Amino acid sequence: MLLSKQRNKWTMTIAGTVLLVMIMILILNYFKYQYQAVVTSERERLTDIADYLDMRFNAYLVGLNLLAGHNDIRYLEADRARPDLLAAAKALDVVNVALYDYKGKLISDCWPLTAQVESPFSKICAKNDFYSVLTGGANVSGRMLDSSQENAYVSVQVPVLGENQVTGVLAAYIPISDISLAVTREVMPERQYVFVMDGSGQFIHHPRLSEFFPESKSFKLRMNELLFQKKGIVETSSPIDGVDKMIIYTGLNNTQWRIGTAIPVSDMYARVFNKALEDAKNFLLLIMCLGLLYGVWYQARRHEQEREQLKLERMMCVNQLAAGIAHEIRNPLTSIQGFIQLMLKRSDKPVPQEHFKIILSEIGRIDSLISEFQMLARPLKDPLIEKVDICKLLNDVLLLMKGQFYDKTIALDLQLPSTGCCFVLGDIGQLKQVFINLVKNALEAVPVGGNVTIMVACQQDMMAITVENDGEGIPLEIIEKLGTPFFTTKANGTGLGLSVCYSIVQNHGGKIMVSSTLGKKTVFTVLLPAALEQGMVQNK
């Protein structure tokens, strides 16, 4: 026993721990999922910007490629090329379109011919980008400065092909402020910003670019290192303001550029927490709804079960009753049968009078059993409620039973209230039956020369009628059984009298209470609804 209890305790502890661990894993996974969801939504935002930039670069590249195939450009003659370059700059909405030979010498661009100063685009500043175009591919450069060293641009470059080889380069220049405008079209949450970096770690767009421009070599290296990883997300302390930030980034199709967003780590976790809070609220609401539904369903089921139970109890009661009646009637029948068989065997001898007397008394017993049982069934019908003078009713009952009191020399005391408030609401016939049974029981319980007292009192809206008798009293375990059909402690009792009383009184909206002092007395109190107004007495 002790061993199994301890084993049970262990099983419970292990099950509890496993459950706790599972819940923890579930919560952890949930937060991981929410974190990923935030990262994904940020990446989608970046992809939108990247797609927009790629689209613009594609438009430049297509335009320049078309132009590069034109004979005016292919012959690399300044006079022929210039009008086309001017038209292209206007059509592409860029500050300049320039044509270079393969050595990087400017042939022509859109810089005004009348200007005193040489075109600031005459020197190729992003040399690496330029040379990579010479190998035949189109290119979007990183950040570059013109020869005045004041204005920053990015250039889109395409090769110009001669007969079989690259003979020159056609380049369109876009101010980096244009790129910034395209990037800042997206509205960002507070404390978060988007930046664009070229392949060599220089910023093309950053909201605080002016604060760290030009970038130091180590700064460029660090940023490049951070963003060169393939994960697309890094956590770092910002080299600009020292705040711990989560940097999420993605690439562009046409360039080595990276476009990223920096979110303070605390903001990132706050966002995850807020989402979790929202989900928790919804979850709670769902649980409440489910709980409510379950409650309704549970109540309906309980009602159904109660109805079933009641039906079952009724059936059991009927079975018990039937068995009881059969048993009670069989006893006297057996003795009648025995006597008649005896008479038949001795048909030659005269039948003793004693035998007839026994047969008759047994028949009388069957008769009384049946009439009491009828009484038990009768209250099931609705009682005929009227105003009944209970004092008169009690007098009638006692008149009937006077002889029995006399036989046992029992003193009867009937105490009625001095004021008239003796009316109850009920069925006269049924109420008479109640008091006949109670007085009969009292008479049977009282010893010779004892007392029976009947009192009537008014209790608020009820009338209390008590039938008290001297005697042995009733033990507690028997009191609990009173009213059960066929429960009797008497040799010739039927055990139906009190059942009849209980069901009649209950049908009248009243109740019967029993109190008993062992070896002294027993008191039965009947509470019946009082008819407060005095009216016509319909007692018969």
Residues that bind Mg ion (CB under 5 A): 441, 497
Q: If binding is defined by CB under 6 A, does position 495 make contact with ligand ADP?
A: yes
Q: Output 161 or 514, the one with its CB closest to ligand ADP.
A: 514
Q: If binding is defined by CB under 6 A, does position 119 make contact with ligand ADP?
A: no
Among 522, 526, 528, 530, binds ligand ADP (CB under 6 A): 522
Q: If binding is defined by CB under 6 A, does position 34 make contact with ligand ADP?
A: no
Angle, CA of 519, 522 and 527, to the nearest 5°: 165
Smallest separation, CB 441 to ligand ADP (Å):
3
Q: If binding is defined by CB under 6 A, does position 336 make contact with ligand ADP?
A: no
Among 36, 489, 517, 538, binds ligand ADP (CB under 6 A): 489
Q: If binding is defined by CB under 6 A, does position 474 make contact with ligand ADP?
A: yes
Question: Using CB under 6 A, which of the segments 236-244, 283-291, 332-340, 469-477 binds ligand ADP?
Answer: 469-477
Q: What is the DSSP letter of 116?
A: S
- The residues in 340-359 that bind ligand ADP, with binding defined as CB under 6 A, are none
Separation between Cα atoms, residue 525 and residue 438, nearest integer Å: 10
For 390, 502, 504, 515, 526, the CA distances from 462, given in Å and listed in that order, are 12, 17, 16, 19, 10
- The residues in 392-451 that bind ligand ADP, with binding defined as CB under 6 A, are 437, 441-442, 445
Neighbour tally for 132: CB within 10 Å: 16
Smallest separation, CB 369 to Mg ion (Å):
12
Q: If binding is defined by CB under 6 A, does position 379 make contact with ligand ADP?
A: no
Query: Quick check: 157 and 133 in contact, CB under 8 A?
Result: yes
Question: Could you check whether the bond before residue 214 is cis, i.e. omega within 30 degrees of 0?
Answer: yes
Query: Quick check: 520 and 473 in contact, CB under 8 A?
Result: yes
Among 108, 155, 494, 525, binds ligand ADP (CB under 6 A): 494
Query: Quick check: 110 and 122 in contact, CB under 8 A?
Result: no
Structure tokens at 108: 């022509």
Question: Using CB under 6 A, which of the segments 79-87, 162-170, 399-407, 466-474 binds ligand ADP?
Answer: 466-474
Q: What is the DSSP letter of 102?
A: T
Question: Using CB under 6 A, which of the segments 269-277, 354-362, 410-418, 494-502 binds ligand ADP?
Answer: 494-502
Structure tokens at 522: 């027993």
Structure tokens at 537: 């007495």
Write b or e for each residue in 289-301: b if 16 or more Cβ atoms lie within 10 A of its Cβ, otherwise e.
Answer: eeeeeeeeeeeee
Q: If binding is defined by CB under 6 A, does position 469 make contact with ligand ADP?
A: yes
Separation between Cα atoms, residue 480 and residue 80, nearest integer Å: 124
Q: Output 139 or 433, the one with its CB closest to Mg ion.
A: 433
Smallest separation, CB 440 to Mg ion (Å):
5
Smallest separation, CB 486 to ligand ADP (Å):
8
Q: How many residues does the chain have?
A: 540
Q: If binding is defined by CB under 6 A, does position 133 make contact with ligand ADP?
A: no
Residue listed under structure tokens 């613009």 = 56
Q: Pick from 61, 43, 59: which is nearest to 186 by CA?
A: 43
For 153, 205, 257, 258, the CA distances from 253, given in Å and listed in that order, are 19, 18, 9, 10
Smallest separation, CB 452 to ligand ADP (Å):
9
Residue 155's binding partner, choosing from Mg ion, ligand ADP, none, with beta-carbon cut-off 5 to 8 A by kind? none
Q: Output 108 or 494, the one with its CB closest to ligand ADP.
A: 494
Q: If binding is defined by CB under 6 A, does position 364 make contact with ligand ADP?
A: no
Residue 494's binding partner, choosing from Mg ion, ligand ADP, none, with beta-carbon cut-off 5 to 8 A by kind? ligand ADP
Smallest separation, CB 433 to ligand ADP (Å):
12
Query: Quick check: 128 and 139 in contact, CB under 8 A?
Result: no
Q: If binding is defined by CB under 6 A, does position 498 make contact with ligand ADP?
A: yes
Structure tokens at 488: 């009797």
Residue 167's binding partner, choosing from Mg ion, ligand ADP, none, with beta-carbon cut-off 5 to 8 A by kind? none
Separation between Cα atoms, residue 457 and residue 415, nearest integer Å: 9
Strand partners, 237: 244
Residue 141's binding partner, choosing from ligand ADP, Mg ion, none, with beta-carbon cut-off 5 to 8 A by kind? none
Strand partners, 513: 525
Interacting residues with ligand ADP (CB under 6 A): 437, 441-442, 445, 469, 471, 474, 482, 487-490, 493-498, 522
